[in-house]
Amino acid sequence: MWTGGAPAMTDSDQFMSNQDSHLTDNPLLDLSGLPRFRQIEPSLVEPALDAVLHQHRLQIQALESQADDAGWESFAEPLQDMEEQLERVWSPVSHLNAVRDSQELRTAVDACLPKISAFQSEVGQNRALYRGYHRIADSRGFAGLSGARRKVVQNALRDFRLAGAELKGSSRERFREIVTELASLANRFEQNLLDATDHWVLDLDETADLAGLPDSVVELAREAASAAGCPGWRFSLQAPFYLPFMMFSEHRRLRRQMYEAYVTRASEVGPDAKRFDSGDLMVEILTRRGEMARLLGFASYAEYALQDRMAGSPQEVSDFLERLTACTRPAAQVEFDELREFASSTHSHDDLQAWDIPYYSEKLKQSRFAFSDEQVRPYFPLPRVLEGLFAVTEKLFGIRAVKAECEHTWHEDVLFFELRDHTGVVRGCFFLDLYARAHKRGGAWMADCIGRRRLADGALQLPAAFLTCNFMPPVGDKPSLLTHDDVVTLFHEFGHGLHHLLTQVDEPAVAGISGVPWDAVELPSQFLENWCWAPEALVAISGHYQTGEALPDDLLDKLRGARNFQCALQMLRQLEFSIFDMAVHGAESLSTAQAIQQTLDTVREKIAVVHTPAWNRFQNSFSHIFAGGYAAGYYSYKWAEVLSADAFSRFEEDGIFDPRCGRDFLQLILESGGVNDPLDNFIAFRGREPSVEALLRHNGLEK
């Protein structure tokens, strides 16, 4: 049972003692340890939130009277406590909403989101609190505060301005309304996408229709059909079904069905046309974001969003994306021309459509490298991959992952681990939820469960994290077998987890990933991906699920040889999404879903080399920017990839398990939180400013 970091008496215990007696049994209000997921019922969510918001409003009233005499201990620290308590109460609810969706939980979340947004707007626009932080910043004692506390105050002043604290009258009220509306709109966008993904299925009952599909996918589809009480095989739009179907199915007609259903999710076209349509939601989201930015005097939402980023302006982002596009597009055109020539000359297929590209790309890769992702699946059983991931982490950073018991998880498949340093001291813990299933949001992510902080009595609260993926679950007596892309995804999310869990900063607002500029937050995750390709690491990561045999040298050579296969096409696709993201968050208003589509079409006409059907509605499933934290920030993946590639180049020079390099990365990047400018951290690690050359070299795009 994990109990690390739970002191005898915490601020949360005092918070609990102030609640009405009928609420004290509510598991959401018990902040003395990890969330008690098995006891969290939807009916408990709104009462818990109401209780914490009521208590916080009373505390804020008391603090307002102290604003003119504010100090860290008397003013800023209590506000930090309140912010963390609210996050601790809401974090498990938000997580369950993503991994165990139900109508009852949706109803509870829908009722709570406006209340949270209203409270956050009240705090963000509270001039007395704003004045109190100014008082701390202007005081003689400010210079004597720790660097972390000074950064908390500086960030708070910035965030008050960005929350509309300096607005007056109707503008102030309108800003507050917009914040509340945006939270609800983003939640509805995510719900529509989840419903659209879960609703559509392809049921097959003829063995001939399965031609080309890997045995593991066929067996998974058989189990899905059996669970649904249907004969034959059931394929859904979840990643373990969709991706291999598009890559391997020999039936073009069926590939088109799958493709059309996938790229029209939550839109006005396709097999579920208008049923879960998010077209109007996107317009409303963009309209309100633009209005919010203009209320604060910014020309666009992109300009507003970049106020806390490494990139200084939309123009700097545009210049960065254009430079990468110029390096990438010619190579992408060559790759696509090669694919068309291959499909025509080898398979007599001259009409290459979007639903053909994964299929013929896989054929071309097999032809060129004698390699298929399915060949390596048996060598990447999930238990061995986890064991190897943890071995790499220990060798790099001296940190061990140890399986532990946790009484309260939200699903029987969830795993739980501690992170321990070389002396055995626990640094934090994390939950692993790795398999795709119904009522679980697609994709992969890391989310905070608990943040690190030093409590008033000196005790240390240890961090906890949620790591979530959507891999193929075990089938029959086989463990979950991963593709190498899956392995890369797992390393990526674990990199985020290490960033959150290994911090040595004691102020939660700048500990872990908190306070780190959004365009730097991907650095640790993308950095860790590099070890998925290193032969020295692959020995630990791989092993045949039946024999334990290491990945054969010839297969390893083929895997590494295929690393940059169609790399330019993949990069150009991300650049397309990034440019579209900046465009829709620009100064020009987009008042219809058609205008959003036209913006994407214009971007594609300018840079894309692959034809996309007119009925493709990618934007309706672009939850990164319409429901996640990447609005006017999708470029961050490439921005941070420049940093991560250049950081890894030091390991290439000194040895990929060089202990000094590992120690420096641990201390300067993973442990430092959001206290220092990430560029300063990078320069301290690399000895110079970042260069794009390593990224281009890793992707085979160097001039």
Q: Which H, E and C letters describe 158-220, residue by residue? A: HHHHHCCCCCCHHHHHHHHHHHHHHHHHHHHHHHHHHHHHHHCEEEECCHHHHCCCCHHHHHH
- Cα separation of 476 and 223, whole Å? 9
Q: Write out the two tokens for 259.
A: 């493709």
Q: Which position has the higher pLDDT, 201 or 698?
A: 201
Say if residue 3's pLDDT is above 50.
Answer: no
> Of these residues, 84, 362, 418, 493, which one is catalytic?
493
User: Which tens digit of pLDDT belongs to each residue from 403-438?
Assistant: 999 989 999 999 999 999 999 999 999 999 999 999
User: Which tens digit of pLDDT belongs to each residue from 505-540?
Assistant: 999 999 999 999 999 999 999 999 999 999 999 999
Q: Which residues contact 94 (CB under 8 A, 6 or more apart)?
A: 109, 447
Predicted TM-score (pTM) of the model is 0.93
Pick the CATH number of 12-166 from 3.10.580.10, 1.10.1370.40, 3.90.120.10, 2.40.128.260: 1.10.1370.40
Strand partners, 204: 233
Just give the CATH number of 378-563.
1.10.1370.40
Local confidence band at 24 (pLDDT 50, 70, 90 cut-offs): low
For residue 25, the model assigns a pLDDT of 86
H/E stretch holding 60 reads helix 42-64
- Cα separation of 258 and 419, whole Å? 41
- Cα separation of 569 and 560, whole Å? 18
For residue 702, the model assigns a pLDDT of 77
Q: Write out the two tokens for 32.
A: 């003395």
At position 78, the amino acid (one-letter code) is P
Task: Find tokens 């994390």 and name the residue.
Answer: 430
Return the closest-CA partner of residue 287 out of 23, 666, 626, 12: 626
- Cα separation of 435 and 412, whole Å? 11
217 burial via Cβ count (<10 Å: 0-12, 13-18, 19+): buried
Residue 307 per-residue DSSP state: G
> 401 — phi, psi (to 5°)?
-100, 125
User: Which tens digit of pLDDT belongs to each residue from 339-390?
Assistant: 999 999 999 999 999 999 999 999 999 999 998 888 999 999 999 999 999 9
Percentage of the chain exceeding pLDDT 90: 94
353 burial via Cβ count (<10 Å: 0-12, 13-18, 19+): middle
Q: Is 181 a catalytic residue?
A: no
Range(s) of the chain covered by CATH 1.10.1370.40: 12-166, 378-563
For residue 6, the model assigns a pLDDT of 35
- Cα separation of 401 and 471, whole Å? 21
- Cα separation of 425 and 398, whole Å? 11
User: Which tens digit of pLDDT belongs to each residue from 655-670?
Assistant: 999 999 999 999 999 9
For residue 23, the model assigns a pLDDT of 62
